[in-house]
Structure 1
Amino acid sequence: MVFTKENRILDHHQILQKIKRMAFEIYEQNFEEKQLVLAGIHENGYFLAQALAQELREISPLEVQLVGVSLHKTEPLTHDIQIEPALPALTHTPVVLVDDVLNTGRTLAYTLREFLEKDCKKLEIATLINRHHPLYPIAATYTGYSLSTTLREHIRVVLTENEWNAYLL
């Protein structure tokens, strides 16, 4: 895959702007809460959840707990879903599930059960880029960038120490 300036749709600065705006939206919808769980789907969703947690801690009094969610994305039914650190019951706690790209909703749909079994107060979804190709009844509550694409196009989000960019391929 070739990543070029021409096919970049979000650069580092723009991604940071999206994260900041999403953090404000999350706080606005949860300002009456004392605590909040951000659950990032590994790898990129977890990096985004870390950045959102940092922003939320700066702009709000919310106690933000960050957890990572690991699952086998191509065969989710044959492998266990891991949440680290393990969560207790979430009866009075809202959860925001975070992923980098919302395409069909499949990955997010398979993770919902883990949080529903913990009886969370509410479950919301935050995604950096929403492609609008739902095959599952999943809708993002918070979206950084909404982009209608064809099924042949792909979005690649690169979040490393040296690069934060999103590309349309």
Structure 2
Amino acid sequence: MENFGLSQIESVWTKERTNKDLTELPEDFYDKSANYATEIRKEKQSSREIREELLEEELSYILEIIQEIYLLRITKITNNLYEKKNENLLKKERKTFEKMREELDDLREELIKPVLEKEVEMKPPEEKSNTLVLLSSKISEPITASDLNYYGPFRKGEVANLPRKSAELLIEQDLARRIDIRNIFDS
């Protein structure tokens, strides 16, 4: 890139914005961009009024598009971190993102792999047990029990075999009494 300047920076910026993949970038692109920005700053100090304003605008513009080039490249590299098609990486980018990939692999090993490989302790399913109750009140509408089935309607004095949790709720609300079968046969 002889006579490096604004047109070369804009060319790189345009290529990076219009290509889906990472574009080829000279290893010294950022160094040359920094030197060019330094030249503009020096020239601005010795310029007056309109020329100074124009140089300030050019400097701002250059800094803005160089940052955008950087962010576009970082985004593309990050999106392709696990793909081997990053042949257009600068040496510094390749080294940094290789370290990042290794760190992410280590993090995966530490957090995810144990979850995938660890033997899971299986708990026995909760025993489904029903409770016999004697209804002490009339319940004129069917109820949805804890097993999501409908029971009822019930007449006062009727015996019902309900899921334990639902039976306990009826007992707590004084709508039913527990019938203990063992007590009946013990007498």
- TM exceeds 0.5? no
Higher relative contact order (Cα pairs below 8 Å, separated by 6+ residues): 1
TM-score range, shorter chain: under 0.3
What TM-score does the superposition give when structure 1 sets the normalisation length?
A: 0.21
Could you say which structure has the higher helix fraction? Answer: 2
Whichever of the two has the greater Rg, that structure is: 2
User: How high is the TM-score relative to the length of structure 2?
Assistant: 0.20
Structure holding more strand per residue: 1
